[in-house]
A = this chain, B = another copy of it.
Amino acid sequence: MQMKNVLAQRSNPPPAVVDPPVKYGMILFQAFEPLDVFGPIQALYMLSRIRRLELALISETMDVVTTRPVVAAMNPMNSSVFPTIPPTHTLQTAPKDLDVLIIPGGLGTRSPLINATIEYVSQTYPKLEYLITVCTGSALAARAGLLDGRRATTNKASWSNTVIYGPKTKWIPHARWVVDGNIWTSSGISAGIDTTLAFIEKMYGKDNATYVANMMEYERHEDSSWDPFADIFKPNMTGVLTRR
């Protein structure tokens, strides 16, 4: 009833762009960062109550995909906080007409074992309307050659481990997110929520973005240059930038 009231109060404005995206894909691989996937998904989940949206979860096989690091040494405390998620499609069965592909980050983006995924991203990009990367997902996009000559950003704590994959990329060290053409790259983890909300605003209008953020009880950062974490992690980032 509450939901009905909230929906009824909305003026249902026209979308911000003609024919905004409907079909989303999310890439999954071992050792993805949980919130990189579920931050954007939560925003789309909320938006999907008032606009028709489809989401495909795409992985190399139909096996459940784990957040567990590929290498045991990356779990030094022998913890077991490793949720898994089943994909809905493989690289082969994924919809051929995706409008938007989202690439999350996580330790898995640096894995030598995801060449098929990199190839898929490379071959799929020309057919997309938009590509969005979250966190170190930009490393995967860079490995697919999609960030050559582009402005992009990434996770600030993992800056040096990520920018090395994009020697021809103009990495922006102080940004919550960066838009270059039809590629949106976001900073680390939570930044994916702000990037998705900014994308929703651009595609479906400000009212819809505000609706989604309020329903998520999320205080948006609407300024893409807001980035206190660039300062917090600057000592490491600066060293790397100086070397390049």
| A residues with CB within 8 A of B | 1-3, 5-6, 24, 33-35, 37-39, 41-42, 44-45, 48-55, 57, 64, 67, 75-86, 155-161, 187-191, 193, 214-219, 221, 228-229, 232-233, 236
Known: A51-B77, A67-B45. A84 touches B86 (CB 8 A): yes
Which residues of B are found within 8 Å of A53, using beta-carbon distances? Answer: 77, 79-81
Copies in the complex: 2
Q: Is the CB of B236 within 8 A of A217?
A: no
Which residues of B are found within 8 Å of A158, using beta-carbon distances? Answer: 2-3
Q: Is the CB of B34 within 8 A of A48?
A: no
28 A–B contact pairs at CB < 8 A? A1-B160, A2-B161, A3-B158, A3-B161, A5-B236, A6-B157, A24-B81, A33-B45, A34-B38, A37-B38, A37-B83, A38-B38, A48-B80, A49-B76, A51-B77, A51-B79, A54-B80, A156-B217, A157-B215, A157-B217, A187-B217, A189-B218, A190-B216, A190-B218, A190-B219, A191-B217, A214-B233, A219-B228
From B2, B48, B187, give the contact of A81 (CB < 8 A).
B48
Which residues of B are found within 8 Å of A191, using beta-carbon distances? Answer: 217
Known: A34-B38, A155-B217, A191-B217. A55 touches B83 (CB 8 A): yes
